[in-house]
Amino acid sequence: MTSDATRDAPIVTAVHGGSGYVAGELLRLLALHPRFVATHVASTSQPGESVVATFPHLAGTSLDALRFASEEAVLDACTRGGPLAVFLATPHGSAAPLAKRLFAARAAAGLEGAGSRDFHVVDLSADFRFPDAAQWASIYGKPHAAPELLPRFTCTVPEHFDGDAATASSSSAAPPRHAAQPGCFTTAATCAAWPFFKLGLVESDVFVSAITGSSGSGRTPAANTHHPERHATLYAYNALSHRHEPEMRRLIGAASGDGRAPDVEFVPHSGPFVRGIHATLRMTLRREIAAEALVAQVNELHQQRARTTGGRSFVLASTSAPKLTEVVGTNKVRLGIATRGRTLVVTSVIDNLTKGAAGGAVQWMNRLFGLPDGAGLELPGLGWY
């Protein structure tokens, strides 16, 4: 963790892939952040254009004068020394070669070693979510572009990282230098299942059914994801074959501590709304426990970990079924717990653009720089949208 950055001084922040939905959400959060200041935003499609022209909802903020720059210009800015936060919000497969160029440029500028203590990268794509390049290639259908960088990145939900090698991409238990944000479906499902595996309360099978909003498909319309095609309907896709399923196995399995991945069966759905994920998980308790008792254990686990790490948990459980309107626009996770006999059902709601992507990434960057987890993320919900 960074410990010697000047207290309250702004931290130069660069964003790559700056014109997408996730980047737009990231810039919204950075405009409110007490330390991270978005000074460089790269876009391959809109260099020189105004950021707020692309994201009009950000007008009237500190981003008004900011313009997109080329990747080369932003990479050059990342070699000037001083504390630096870099977010990679590029498409899957593009972040790894970009990270390779970034690390090489900083090494050439003599910024490795002691000069790199205040330099952290958080990847919002899938490029650094797996420690094994062969596994990544089997899922994404092409070789990993920078396998030598995989050990530098840790991938898990920030609340779940405790320096444990099982949750890290690296075999080292040292604090991470760089992080990868898990996928949005993975975040919703892992936050729902993780505490029960951590507490040793459930068997190894997990069934996940989750519905996501249209913003999860990105800014470019496609025949099966364009909002007019899905606004008044609901359908499943990639049942039992979605690329987030292996992520869920790895991250949920890490909670049990025995190295065994659970048998996760995942069915994603496209929902008729823009923002949010509603996930329903079914698990089997090892013994009958009342829902109220489980709620108390789950909340105490998160509170205890927050006290131990000095961090902040955005996860809260109850016996009430959560609604998307409780979390849209926030970094919160709301869990609803129900039981019948040994059957456990957990519903989980998150904002896919915030906790599932940009908010989780900012939370990770807070952690890497030794800032409070909640810095810039203590956001009220929208309520209606």
- Calculate the alpha carbon distances from 133 to 90, 239, 365 in Å: 19, 24, 24
Q: In whole angstroms, what is the distance from residue 347 CA to residue 337 CA?
A: 7
Contact between 197 and 172 (Cβ < 8 Å) = no
Instruction: Tell me the one-letter amino acid at 294.
Output: L
List the end-to-end C-alpha distance of the chain, in Å, as a whole number. 38
Helix 359-368 vs helix 21-31: crossing angle, to nearest 10: 50
Instruction: Provide the 8-state DSSP code for 6.
Output: P
Reduced to 3 states (helix: H, G, I; strand: E, B; else coil), residue 259 is: coil
Q: In whole angstroms, what is the distance from residue 339 CA to residue 59 CA?
A: 47
The single residue of 78, 155, 184, 191 carrying the catalytic annotation is 184
Q: Is 184 a catalytic residue?
A: yes
Burial category of 161 from C-beta neighbours within 10 Å (exposed 0-12, middle 13-18, buried 19 and up): buried
Q: Please list the active-site residues.
A: 184
